[in-house]
Amino acid sequence: MADAKSRDVPLDKIRNIGIIAHIDAGKTTTTERILFYTGKTYKIGDIDEGTTQMDWMAQEKERGITIVSAATTAYWTHTSQSSAGQEDLYRINIIDTPGHVDFTAEVERSLRVLDGGITVLDAEEGVQSQSETVWRQADKYKVPRICFINKMDKLGADFLATVRSIEDRLGANPAIMVLPIGVEHTFKGIVDLILRKSYVWGSDDLGAEFDVSDEIPEDLKNQVEKYRHKLVEKIAETDDKLLEKYLSGEEPTVEELKTALRKAVIAYKLVPIYAGSSLRNKGVQPLLDAVVDYLPSPLDLREVKGINPKTGEEEVRKLTPDDPLAGLAFKIQIDPHVGKLTYFRVYSGKIASGSYIYNSTKNKTERVGRILLMHANTREEIEEGLSGEIVALVGLKETVTGDTLCDEKKPIILEKISFPEPVISLAIEPKTKIDQEKLGFALKRLSEEDPTFVIKSNHETGQTIISGIGELQLEVMVDRMKREFGVLANVGAPQVAYKETIAKMAQAEGKYIKQSGGRGQYGHCFLRVEPKPRGEGYEFVNAIKGGAIPAEFITSIQKGVKESMENGVLLGYPMVDMSVTVYDGSYHDVDSSDIAFKIAASQALQAATRKAGITLLEPIMKVEVTTPSEFMGDVIGDLSAKRGQILGTEERARATIILAMVPLEELSGYATTLRSMSQGRASYYMEPSHYEEVPKNIVEQMLSKSTFTGRVAAQQ
């Protein structure tokens, strides 16, 4: 474990990085090697054997995939620096993120708090769909990156083809830093283009020992000079002084090149490209050097911006311990030993155990019981968390993912984290009365951990509905309920999470009057509904003039609207992408109540949406099928029959990649269909893309089968 004395490294020697990639590109394997070479672990973990440090959950070990992002801290002395003194020691805080699209929330929230990222790519596959998704997520939060082309020893590995796919598919500007020595089974090392040095890994199985020499293999000399020239040119173009020097025919020094490249990487102008084979323990140490050389420290980013909740003005915090405390809670994890852990990125100031901190998002004060430094699922207690660190806090009750924690006297709200919408649901029922109580507790805990895991009760059937991004995520959640919380439950078949919306503007009146001796009930309002662009969500507007409805009843109208929208009107699916305006109404001095206005609002919404023409929306998935070319025709034919829209095909190595948009409803059991169609040789990947209107004939089929009782007539 990291001892407390070595934590106190200067801010410019801290790196907060994440490892992001497509599933099976080798993220966890790369992280395991980093931990071994930095001396964090004494044994290299193996995914196939289930001995990795970062994949510590039982479900991760069984499935050989990463489900939750794991944080750790390691220390690295630059390879090219001979002294191993304190001044050369760098502290690297690493988050290993999942590659599977079902756990995309883990990637999203990790990227929000990281300063830099390593994107791992498979040398044979190149840029895959999920690589694009995580790249876009990193773009959103402006995270500087390095690319590591992994699996250079794999059959079909092609370094330059992968670089081209980085350019074409990611729109990045790659700076090739190394060239591989050998390919596939002959791969044994790399040539560093800036230093003109060879790094060759010999027979040492663990890869800790390697030879560094000025000798460049004969067959690579011309290529090295060609690509070095290109690299120097690319770096010089980002820096005016360097460009001037370069154009005058003067060779920039190594130091000048590194300084200019560092600036260019932090400004998202260039992406350095490295290569290796993590599984064969080759190429990881130069990658660590690159993290130190080119990825930003908290000081490089200088400041973080937010909003003052009291004034609405922009607030700025310098990323130093001297500024007031500001940080983001980016992940909740339930630990069986210490309870609820809140992962927290400290941007500015410091946080001490036992102190009180202010949650500016919720306007609540919380007490920090303990502060932990995490290494996957093991912990080390520390007295305070410093600026630039990622720590776990124990004792916070109200704080959830995306909340800002800060100094109460200097409040700030940092940019929240946005998560994708759930697209698939399951009905879940406890087996016994005892399980009923346990189920409620387990679901609450799990939804705290994962913001894309949504729980709803179906009032019609009395069932609990759980929703998420994909089947695998729900499967893992059900498995965790059983193992961690001891809940036995019956689970229904996965259902697609449809949504309802309206086609045009309409308005209607809702009136609820009840006289039954004593005090009666009176609520009366007029609502106008209008469609909003796809993905815009719901908006409530209060347009009451002259006190026609007192202000205290407006919240009741809002509640009535919201409840009705959640329960749907056509087939019982939630309503989205519309604005609801209350513009008139009346009240009674004695009989008006919250409940009466709530009912009136619900009636008005039902009536208005009937007039507005209700349409059904379904989730559309982006599907990428990798198949041997001889089965391409069959696969395309099958996708078209599933109402799929074929976007294009491309040849990659010995396979054909088919890109398509397909409704999720049609993809049930697709894995089996694809296997039998391709003799088990094709594979596919899918991720949620957007929502689209369901064709009328399919809506009619669904209406004829549905048992939903709160229905209104479908509009033509």
Is the distance from CB of 621 to CB of 661 less than 8 angstroms? yes
Q: Please tell me whether the overall predicted TM-score, pTM, comes out greater than 0.75 for this model.
A: no
Q: Which residue has the tokens 């080119």?
A: 294
Strands (E), 231-354: 271-275, 303-307, 314-318, 326-335, 339-348, 350-352
Q: What is the per-residue pLDDT across 185-214, written as a single tens digit (0 to 9) for each?
A: 888 899 999 999 999 987 656 666 788 888
pLDDT value of residue 462: 63
Is the distance from CB of 460 to CB of 572 less than 8 angstroms? yes
Is the distance from CB of 396 to CB of 341 less than 8 angstroms? no
Alpha carbons 418 and 564: distance in angstroms, whole number: 25
- What Å distances lie between residue 34 and 145, 211, 262, 276, CA to CA? 17, 18, 21, 13
Torsion of CA 128, 132, 134, 136, to 10 degrees: 180
Q: H or E element: which one contains 207?
A: none
Query: Which residues share a beta bridge with 427?
Result: 465
**Per 3-state DSSP, what percentage of the chain is helix, strand, and coil (rounded to 5)?**
30, 30, 35
Alpha carbons 646 and 657: distance in angstroms, whole number: 11
pLDDT value of residue 517: 63
Q: Which residue has the tokens 């982006």?
A: 622
- Other CB atoms closer than 10 Å to residue 235's CB: what's the count? 27
pLDDT value of residue 104: 65
pLDDT value of residue 377: 55
pLDDT value of residue 59: 52
pLDDT value of residue 52: 45
- Other CB atoms closer than 10 Å to residue 292's CB: what's the count? 19
The candidate with the shortest Cα–Cα distance to 123, out of 253, 250, 278, is 278
Chunked mean pLDDT (size 10), the chain, 716 residues: 53 84 77 74 46 45 50 74 53 72 68 86 84 83 91 89 90 92 88 91 69 86 92 91 87 90 92 90 88 89 84 86 87 76 87 90 90 71 83 87 88 81 82 83 83 76 78 82 84 85 93 78 93 88 88 91 88 90 90 90 92 90 87 92 91 80 88 84 82 90 78 44
pLDDT value of residue 36: 78
Identify the burial level of 73 via C-beta atoms within 10 angstroms of its C-beta, where 0-12 means exposed, 13-18 middle and 19 or more buried. buried
The contacts of residue 689 (CB under 8 Å, 6+ apart) are 619, 620, 621, 622, 661
Could you give the angle at the alpha carbon of 453 between the alpha carbons of 55 and 556, nearest 5°?
Answer: 155
- DSSP code per residue over 164-180: HHHHHHH---EEE-EEE
pLDDT value of residue 320: 83
Identify the burial level of 583 via C-beta atoms within 10 angstroms of its C-beta, where 0-12 means exposed, 13-18 middle and 19 or more buried. middle
The contacts of residue 656 (CB under 8 Å, 6+ apart) are 626, 627, 628, 629, 632, 649, 650
Torsion of CA 352, 353, 358, 361, to 10 degrees: 110
Alpha carbons 716 and 705: distance in angstroms, whole number: 19
- DSSP code per residue over 500-514: EEESS-EEEEEEEEE
| Secondary structure of 362-389 in HEC code, one letter for each residue | CCEEEECCEEEEEECCEEEEECEEECCC
Torsion of CA 52, 57, 61, 63, to 10 degrees: -130
